[in-house]
């Protein structure tokens, strides 16, 4: 298939997420072949720029292909969410469920056994249409991502 035709098709696939009304939440999409687990530290009162894993195991949630997170009822929306944060950035951690099963939380925490941590700004999330992908997509180029080695990865 010609690359000229592939680019619009890939863009169309990723733009589907943006067609949903996600002003009251966001979606996580797993494009890998294996289930993954996620952890959002802000749900436990830990806010960026604090990116350390908590001492107590937060029991990251496992999902196969997609997970939709809702901000809840009432007037709470994306702007209200970011008003709670000390910065315009939120972190999301992704883990391999096998790693979570194999190691105790202390080891996972000390050795930072994560697949990736995304530090996404409010503008990053808007650019993504409130759809967060693992593994990272070309649309995520330039967004802050930290892998097991704690090196910043730029697509």
Q: What pLDDT digit, counting tens, does each position of 85-106 carry?
A: 999 999 999 999 999 999 999 9
- Mean pLDDT for the stretch of residues 140-147: 94
| pLDDT-derived band at 70, boundaries 50, 70, 90 | confident
Rounded CA gap, 29 and 68, in Å? Answer: 9
The band of 23, judged by pLDDT with boundaries at 50, 70 and 90, is low
Give dist(CA 155, CA 153) in Å, integer. Answer: 6
With 0.95 as the threshold, say if the pTM is over it.
Answer: no
The strand pairing partners of 38, in sequence order, are: 61, 94
117 falls within a domain: yes
Residue 134 domain-assigned (yes or no): yes
Which is more confidently placed, 23 or 117? Answer: 117
User: What is the arithmetic mean of pLDDT over 47-64?
Assistant: 95
Contacts 24+ apart (CB under 8 A), 75-83: 76/24, 77/23, 77/24, 78/23, 78/24, 78/122, 78/125, 78/130, 82/122
* Element at 78 (helix H, strand E): helix 78-84
Q: What is the rounded CA–CA span in Å between residue 147 and residue 155?
A: 13
Domain count, the chain: 1
Q: Where are the beta strands (DSSP E) in the chain?
A: 25-30, 36-39, 61-63, 66-70, 89-95, 116-121, 131-134, 144-147
Q: Look at residue 81 in the predicted model and tell me its pLDDT.
A: 81
Structural domain boundaries, residue 124: 3-147
Between CA 155 and CA 141 the distance in angstroms is: 5
Please enumerate in sequence order all residues whose Cβ is within 8 A of that of 44, keeping only pairs 6 or more positions apart, or say none. 54, 58
pLDDT of residue 102: 97
- Does residue 59 carry a pLDDT above 80? yes
Which residue's structure tokens are 């067609």?
19
Residue 140 lies in a domain: yes
Query: Is residue 79 situated within a structural domain?
Result: yes
Residue 17, pLDDT score: 66
On the question of pLDDT at 11 being above 90, the answer is no
Greater confidence, 11 or 43? 43
pLDDT, average across residues 114-130: 95
Residue 152 lies in a domain: no
Position 138 in a domain: yes
How large is the C-alpha radius of gyration of the chain? Answer: 16
Q: Answer yes or no: is 155 within a domain.
A: no
CA distances from 119 to 48, 64, 87, 149 (A): 8, 22, 11, 15
Does the pLDDT at position 118 exceed 80?
A: yes
63 belongs to a structural domain: yes
Token look-up 């001492």 returns 55
- The answer on pLDDT for 61 being more than 80 is yes
């Amino acid at each position: 298939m010609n690359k000229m035709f592939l680019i619009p098709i890939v863009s169309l696939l990723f733009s589907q997420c943006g067609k949903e009304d996600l002003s009251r939440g966001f979606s996580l999409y797993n494009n890998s072949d294996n289930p993954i687990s996620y952890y959002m530290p802000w749900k436990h009162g830990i806010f960026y720029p604090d990116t350390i894993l908590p001492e107590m195991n937060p029991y990251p949630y496992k999902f196969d292909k997609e997970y939709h997170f809702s901000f809840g009822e009432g007037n709470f929306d994306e702007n209200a969410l970011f008003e709670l944060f000390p910065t315009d950035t939120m972190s999301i951690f992704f883990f391999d469920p096998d790693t979570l099963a194999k190691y105790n939380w202390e080891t996972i925490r000390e050795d930072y056994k994560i697949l990736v941590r995304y530090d996404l700004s409010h503008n990053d999330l808007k650019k993504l249409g409130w759809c967060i992908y693992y593994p990272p997509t070309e649309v995520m180029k330039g967004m802050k991502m930290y892998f097991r080695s704690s090196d910043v990865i730029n697509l």
